[in-house]
A and B are shown apart, each in its own frame.
Chain A
Amino acid sequence: MAKGTHRDAYWVMSAFPSPSFDPELLRRYDRPGPRYTSYPAAPRFRTDFSEADLREHAGRSNADPIPRQLSLYMHIPYCLSPCFYCGCNRIITRDRAKGSRYVERLIREVEAMGKLFDRDRDVIQLHLGGGTPNFLGVDELRELIESAGRHFHFSLAPNRDFSIEIDPRFVTPEDIAGYAQLGLNRASLGVQDFDPEVQKAVNRIQSVEQTLQVIEACRANGLRSVNVDLIYGLPKQTLEGFARTLDTVIEAHPDRLAVYGYAHLPELFKPQQRINPDELPAPDTRLRLLQLAIEKLSAAGYHYIGMDHFALPGDELAQAQKAGTLHRNFMGYTTHADSDLIAMGMSAISHIGDSFSQNPRDLAGWEIALDHGRLPVWRGLHLDTDDLLRADVIQQLMCQGTIDIAAIERRHGIDFQDYFSDSLARLHGPIDDGLVEADRLRITATSRGRLLLRIIAMCFDRYLDQTPPPDAVKPRFSRVI
């Protein structure tokens, strides 16, 4: 037994090397790129994708011999207070009554979407995201989840993931107990940085005590997993301060951690205009902050999953990566294979069958559609066979760090070397720099390349060479580091 365990552990390390940190390399490859929570990335979506198209794809998705299970995402756009770093689509208000009016419409959307899907398709994943889902009270969340339970069939499997994003500043232990009663079993907490200077600069004052209290309440109420979000590259951030934050967080022992890089794009994200660019850490410091996070988390036993995500070795994400069953969708990494993602609420993006579709990014647009009895579809995309093939390749890369060439050829009926000759040519630079190793069987990110998965994926992205269609919104991507 011990031997087997040891071999497994070794195999994990060899197949998924910890990221190694090479500042010079990272600096050179630090360029804007999609995050590949979808392929094609959202800027490729087209506004001629209609409600009828969504219905068509939903109908087709019911017709498979074994229809996929379902994931539900519900977007709560409201926040009580503006964090200046935020690039999300959110609405700041103190008026809690707006929440109940929003829930009323969201329930109508749940009802309308529920009609499109056969009842024997189990909901295996449900996620409440934002904004701030805990802007809503427990009673409002109950209404929402109960309506979802009426219009969809919730899986009874013990591994179903029902999760909520929590702003720890506005939640009580009683609220958390309420969430647990609603069947929520995972929580994701925003922390960013505990350094008081940073918190002032980004307008998010959040004490260590209140954060730890929330983590404690999650555990006490039997939530299966707690995730903590941190951000590096924030104004006034220092190595000393961020080191203290990391130590504090590691001591709280969350099951998962996400460490995002702050992308300063004030012309794109209005709240960021209130950040003083002079206070942003220099590029070198930024890299050292990332390095610090990787080193401390690795030393504490966290496993690097990919992109910005870390998990304890016993966590399902780490296990799934080991088993080759890890997936990635708009909610990030997940253990649930290829479910159809039904996303509801303002700006939410669904992935149903071979399509993406997105709701209006403005509240009025979303409300008007629902008030007229329409499904609120703003834009979307039909995936063609080329899109599906490239999505598969990029998914393998983002989740397993490697592309199994024979598997791709078998699944898609292509000759890889021939089909991807352009991509393979683009890989020469990354190969010479030691980011990637490629032979006839596999293309694998090395430890040097693991932090630059986006760069490798970009070599397989057909659309980066092209100008977007005339009706698409001009793509703007954050930097890869």
Chain B
Amino acid sequence: MRALPSRLSRIPAAGSDEPMPGDGDEYNFCNTCTFSRTCLQSGYDKGRLRDLHVLIDHVGPFREGEHLFREGDPFTAIAAVRAGVVKTYVNDADGREQVQGFFLPGEIVGLSAISHDRYPCNAVALDTVHLCRFSFPDIADLATRIPSLQQQLFRLLSQDIGKATLLAGNYSADERMAAFLVSLSRRYAMRGGTSDRFHLVMTRTDIANYLRLASETVSRVFRRFQDEGLIQVDRRDLKLLNLPRLESLARSVLRE
């Protein structure tokens, strides 16, 4: 039933890569790289990592709607998003899609596969996506030699697990939506993007599914937040006008 072979597990990476702003080269890490600081601090520059064959294929572009991997594909690699947004989801027994998460530039897709031989979910590009692909056995091996890299991997893993359980509680629609917006804002800020303005690539159905709300509810809350002066929405462009207020709404969801 598979329409297209997924491309993350395909080896080697296709040579269709286009240079991007902020891209690394033979010697420099990409500026979105989550591992760069850890590695550099431990004395592993990019050349040395390449010598160790850990890495690091730039893959992409993936076009909107194209799958990075599908549930059940053999797990060989994790990938850092260099550009674009990735959605992960599973289909439940009734064939209904359940959105698990959204991955922004700098974030790692595929971590949930570490304990399996196969990817436990699907990953799809929501817009034009570029990735940096790491061979998992190799980076795990490297982590045994760089303790801080090991820690970084653990940290990422626990964040990933945390993300999934965050919304499991009994929270109101307002709290969920505020937490979603605050989380996006912080994650964009962490990668040096603007934290009060961003483009929502995900559809309202995806947002609703992820937050376990009806999509009408998502729009109703967006509209109310806008009426109350918390945000400003222009089609997919979002501006946070009152972050402190959103943060206080989000506090219980974000466990702060």
Contacts and interface: CB of A to CB of B under 8 A. Distances in A.
B205 interface: yes
B203 A63 contact: yes
B205 A65 contact: no
A304 to B, nearest CB: 30
B204 to A, nearest CB: 5
A396 to B, nearest CB: 15
A63 B200 CA distance: 10
A442 to B, nearest CB: 21
Nearest to A411: B234
Contacts of B219: 65-67, 120
A67 B235 CA distance: 7
A284 interface: no
Interface string A404-429: 00000001000000000000000000
B85 to A, nearest CB: 14
B222 interface: yes
Contact of A63 (B204, B222, B223, B226): B204
A191 B183 CA distance: 59
A406 to B, nearest CB: 16
Interface in B208-256: 215-216, 218-219, 222-223, 226, 233-236, 238
A67 B207 CA distance: 14
B214 to A, nearest CB: 9
A65 B207 contact: yes
A64 B215 contact: no
B218 A65 contact: yes
Contacts of B203: 62-63
Contact of A120 (B200, B207, B216): B216
Interface string A56-72: 00000011111100000
A67 B219 CA distance: 8
Interface residues of B, number: 17
> Main SS of the interface on chain B?
helix
A118 interface: yes
B15 to A, nearest CB: 29
Contacts, number: 31
B241 to A, nearest CB: 15
Contacts of B238: 65
Contacts of B218: 65
Interface string A39-81: 0000000000000000000000011111100000000000000
Nearest to A120: B216
A116 to B, nearest CB: 14
A120 B220 CA distance: 10
A253 to B, nearest CB: 37
Contacts of B223: 66
Interface string B66-110: 000000000000000000000000000000000000000000000
B116 to A, nearest CB: 32
B233 A65 contact: yes
A63 B216 CA distance: 11
A120 to B, nearest CB: 4
Contacts of A66: 219, 222-223, 226, 233
Contacts of B222: 65-66
Interface in B170-202: 200
B22 to A, nearest CB: 18
A238 to B, nearest CB: 51
Contacts of A64: 204, 235-236
Contact of A67 (B204, B226, B234): B204
Contacts of B204: 62-65, 67
B205 A63 contact: yes
A64 B207 CA distance: 10
A314 B233 CA distance: 30
Nearest to A353: B235
A120 B205 CA distance: 13
Contacts of A411: 234
A65 B234 CA distance: 9
A60 to B, nearest CB: 8
A197 B207 CA distance: 65
Contacts of A62: 203-205
B216 A65 contact: no
24 contacts: A62-B203, A62-B204, A62-B205, A63-B204, A63-B205, A64-B204, A64-B236, A65-B207, A65-B218, A65-B219, A65-B233, A65-B236, A65-B238, A66-B219, A66-B222, A66-B223, A66-B233, A67-B204, A67-B219, A118-B215, A118-B216, A120-B215, A120-B216, A120-B219
Interface of B: 200, 203-205, 207, 215-216, 218-219, 222-223, 226, 233-236, 238
Interface of A: 62-67, 118, 120, 411
Given A62-B203, A63-B204, A66-B233, 18 more contacts: A62-B204, A62-B205, A64-B204, A65-B218, A65-B219, A65-B222, A65-B236, A65-B238, A66-B219, A66-B223, A66-B226, A67-B204, A67-B219, A118-B215, A118-B216, A120-B215, A120-B216, A411-B234
Question: A-B pairs with the 10 shortest C-beta distances?
Answer: A63-B203, A120-B216, A65-B222, A66-B222, A66-B233, A66-B219, A64-B235, A66-B223, A65-B233, A65-B204
